[in-house]
Structure formats: structure tokens, C-alpha cells
Amino acid sequence: MRFGINTFLFTSPFTTDSVRLFPKFKKWGFDTLELPIEAPEHIDPAKVRAAADKHGLAIGSLCACMGPGRDFRGTPEEQATASTYVRTLIDQAVILGCPSIIGPIYSVVGRIGAHTDAEKKEHFALVVKNLKPLAKYAESKGVTLCIEPLNRFETDFLNTCDQGLKLVKAVGSKAVKLHLDTFHMNIEEKNQAAAIKKAGPLLAHFHACGTDRGTPGNDSLDWKPIVAALKSIKYSGDVVIESFTTDVKVIARAAAIWRRMEPTRDEIAVKGLQNLHRLFGAKKKK
């Protein structure tokens, strides 16, 4: 199991120049990086990989940023735009030596509203239809698409582990698995540990976030059963801190971060990693 950091805590958008952050992440003891790619043209994947290799960091995941115009249940144009975007991320993941693309790979974030049962069925069919060819392409490239349920305030499509598993199984590809996040689960799941166990071998990515989207382990969450559940299913993927800060204005607004969670964003990363080592009983690297 590796511990990673999502760069949204420090910058948006992530560009080739953002590799200047890598020495700090390595110094703090992170194993992997999670890079949100808001637009593929923002990075030169070969240069980013070279920088990660230089500092002994693995690029464990690319975060799909499903912004306006990227919607597998939207207009035909939005579906095509989303498909082209994800396909490009798959190509970049290969160059980056990155095994996973993660996030809400189904609809634009922020689309919420009540739908009839017929509309829900139509949306689900559209997402499956769009994901199937992408799954086939990802499989051919050795990349896994990890589908993340979000909370009800960020999407009306996929909120729970059960819904995520239904989508994963409907696509029916070994290249499509599940991604769970403690922040979203804290809102939507009756029991986080039970959800993790239900996901079982289909769980391929995990976000460790505080209940206030701050420091994991410095919040109200009972982490012991969550860690125990991950160990019980022999989870071997990355555990990534995805927290946000008022310092990165565009992300703060998107994630509704209206106040400072900790004195500094460095504390979220450093103390969060320390807490993960303590909670998981992992040996801290020197």
C-alpha cells in the first residue's frame, strides 16, 4: 500500500512547471502523486514523468476533471467531448507510467436535480454506452478507470458504493473498477467499513480525506474500522490525501471551502501523512 498526495492542495491547474512541487512531496515522505489534469495540453507528460522519476516518486493516478462540456449523460457534443478527454488521459497515463485514471468519470461535476425513473434509466444507459469503448481502450493500454461516487451536492448520478458497483458491473470490463472517498462516504454511506467490504476486490483507489475536507485523522471520523476494512479485503492500491485549501481559489470555490481548515496547507499534507502511517501501522520512511 502506498500513500499519495493530490496536487489540488497546492495548485490549479497542474502544469509541467508544477513539477517544482515534487522535491517537497518526496521530502515529506509521499510515495505517489495524484495529478488532476484539467486540460491535457497543460502538461508535457514525458517531462512530468522525468521529474517524478528524478525525485523517486510514482505517478499513481491521474484525476479526471469532469468540468463543463464533459458529460457522458449530456448532449451528443458533451458526450463526445468527455470521451475524447478521457481517451487523451489514457494516452497520457501510458507515457507517465501511471496505472489509473480516477474520479467521477461519468458526468460533469455539479449537475444535480431530481429525475424520473425513466430519466435515471436513460442516464445510466448513456454512461454505460460511453464507458464501454473507453474501457476497451484502457484495457488495451494497461490502464484502469476507477469510478468515484460523489456526494449528493456534487452529483445526482452516483452517490453510493452500491450505485458505483452497479455501474462497474454494467460496463463489465476488468479495466473499470471502483474509487471510494471518505469525505463523500461520510455523507452518503450508512457504514463506511461495510461499503469498503462490499466493494472488495473491485476497489482499486481510495481517498483519505477529513470530514471537513481537511487533514485525515484530524477530524470526527472513526478511522479504525475503515483501516480494518481495507486490510480485510487486502486492499493494495494507493491511499491518497485529497484535501483542499483556501489558497487555491478556483478549487476552493468549486469545493465550497470558505474557511481555513488548518493553519497551513503544508500541515494538511505533513500531519495527514503522519496520521496515515499511524492509523495503518506503516513504517514511516526516512
Half-sphere exposure of 118 (CA within 13 A, CB side): 0
DSSP the chain: -EEEEEGGGT-SS--GGGGGGHHHHHHHT--EEEEEESSGGG--HHHHHHHHHHTT-EEEEEEE---TT--TTS-HHHHHHHHHHHHHHHHHHHHHT--EEEE-TTS-TT------HHHHHHHHHHHHHHHHHHHHHHHHHT-EEEE----TTT-SS--SHHHHHHHHHHHT-TTEEEEEEHHHHHHH-S-HHHHHHHHGGGEEEEE---TTSS-TTSSS--HHHHHHHHHHTT--SEEEE----TTSHHHHHHTT--S-SSS-HHHHHHHHHHHHHHHHTPPPP-
Name residue 51's amino acid: A
Closest CA to 268 of 247, 286, 251: 247
Residue with cell 492542495: 9
Angle of helix 192-199 versus helix 223-232 axis, rounded to 10: 10
Find the Cα–Cα–Cα–Cα dihedral 204, 232, 269, 22, rounded to 10°.
-50
Specify whether 242 is catalytic: yes
| Catalytic annotation, pick one of 38, 189, 242, 262 | 242
| Catalytic annotation, pick one of 148, 188, 189, 262 | 148
Residues with catalytic annotation?
A: 148, 242
